[in-house]
Amino acid sequence: MGGGDGGEDSVVHFVLVHGASHGAWCWYKLTTLLAAAGFKATSVDLTGAGINLTDSNTVVDFDQYNRPLFSLLSDLPPHHKIILVGHSIGGGSVTEALCKFTDKISMVVYLAADMVQPGSTSSPHDSAMTVGEEDIWELIYGEGADKPPTGMLMKEEFRRHYYYSQSPLEDVTLACKLLRPAPLRALNGADKLAPNPEAEKVPRVYIKTAKDNLFDPLRQDRVVEKWPPSQLYILEESDHSAFFSVPTTLFAYLVRAVSFLQL
């Protein structure tokens, strides 16, 4: 890959960002495939997620939630050509990172993800977290029952259907042991970004999950229409969690997407 800053060869570096309740662990199949193909791949635990030690009930704003991602990006050298990949509500995290680190980002990929143009606001119906009227979320009251909820976690009986309907049972079993409450207050700030014309020049890719019971494919279509990406891919056999259900196809689409970049 061509020469980079200071004579170093450029490195294509995928930075993978999980959605609500998940963590860096959910990308284990994809990071293995990317590394075997010669790419660098890093998955990150946002604040209060995965093995991050913060109690998610204490995470109150979106910047605080995303801080581990910002720290990682700020430390990466200039010859790393960063491909940011955000899943589900992690789309909001990668958009905020794009606005803060525009010069470092070569491409942003939204996987069944919230993709809201900076400066606009999303309808609740355009979010990966909205599912009809069904009461599928357990609310966590970390500051007492008389205060607003601080966290949310999908109830166990709904997880296979909404998150993992096409995924191997072993992955479902493991994931259900690792999910943590998502910081509700922080996620409420996910689409409150100022307009950023420079960030909009960075190529964006949307990957749609066609058998998604959580983020309905028709709602994903609406997101794509509102802020059209430069590339669109469709995972025909994927549930909401493509990293479990169709990792090799997801890998192939990511490699194809970056092949269009002049790196």
Rounded to whole angstroms, the Cα distance separating 85 from 76 reads: 16
Residue 1 lies in a domain: no
Residue 109 lies in a domain: yes
Q: Who's near 91: CB < 8 A, 6+ residues apart?
A: 110, 111, 113, 114, 115, 116, 128
Reading the chain (263 residues) residue by residue, the pLDDT tens digits are 444 444 588 999 999 999 999 999 999 999 999 999 999 999 999 999 999 999 999 999 999 999 999 999 999 999 999 999 999 999 999 999 999 999 999 999 999 999 999 998 776 666 776 665 569 999 999 999 999 999 999 999 999 999 999 999 999 999 999 999 999 999 988 878 899 999 999 999 999 999 999 999 999 999 999 999 999 999 999 999 999 999 999 999 999 999 999 76
Residue 53 lies in a domain: yes
User: Which of 182, 160, 162 lies closest to 173, judged by CA?
Assistant: 160
pLDDT of residue 192: 82
Residue 249 lies in a domain: yes
The residues carrying an active-site annotation are: 88, 212, 240
Residue 165 lies in a domain: yes
CATH of the domain at 62: 3.40.50.1820
Please give the C-alpha separations between residue 43 and each of 17, 26, 27, 73, in angstroms, as whole numbers. 6, 9, 7, 12
Could you say which DSSP state residue 64 is in? H
- What's the domain count of the chain? 1
Residue 2 lies in a domain: no
User: Which of 4, 21, 3, 20 lies closest to 180, judged by CA?
Assistant: 21
At residue 141, φ and ψ (nearest 5 deg) are -110, 80
Residue 4 lies in a domain: no
Domain containing residue 57: 13-125+132-259
Residue 5 lies in a domain: no
